[in-house]
Amino acid sequence: MIEKPKPISIKSRKAKARGLQNEIKDDIQRCFHLSDFDVKSSSMGLQGADIQLSMEAKRRFNFAIECKHRNSLNIWDALEQAQNHSKTDSTKPIPLMVFKRDRSAIYVALKWDDFLKIYMKQM
């Protein structure tokens, strides 16, 4: 008889999500030379973007970040969350969804127009 895998607990799910958020926070701090004060990981269950940025951080990296660490992901719902976070922020950050699944690389999704704007600034 084949046993079904046990469903992951809410506590484990939140720990995975928190781990991704912390990794993204650390990367932003390192790449943009920002302090713990400038970049913070939001507590689970709080409204708003998953990564909280100070005004200085937004000046360098103005994104509304939604993080998802799931094996099964509704990308459209996650993108909508990032877009909603952007709408409520007066600095009008670019909505950015960061996602991964177990034992995978981290990926990002954003609107094509936003990608082109960012890319063209680099040229």
If we measure between CA atoms, which residue out of 37, 99, 27 comes closest to residue 66? Answer: 99
70-100 burial, b at 16+ Cβ within 10 Å, e below that, comes to beeeeeeebbebbbebbeeeeeebbbbbbbb
Tens digits of residue pLDDT in 62-102: 999 999 999 999 999 999 999 998 998 889 999 999 999 99
Tens digits of residue pLDDT in 12-68: 666 666 889 999 999 999 999 999 999 999 877 677 889 999 999 999 999 999 999
Q: Using CA atoms, how far apart are residues 11 and 43, in angstroms rounded to an integer?
A: 13
Q: What's the burial of 104, exposed, middle or buried (CB within 10 Å: 0-12/13-18/19+)?
A: exposed
* Domain coordinates in residue numbering, the chain: 10-122
Give percent of the chain with pLDDT exceeding 90: 67
Residue 8 backbone dihedrals phi, psi, to 5 degrees = -70, 140
Domain 10-122 has CATH 3.40.1350: yes
DSSP element (H, E) containing 65: strand 63-69
Overall pTM surpassing 0.85 (yes/no): no
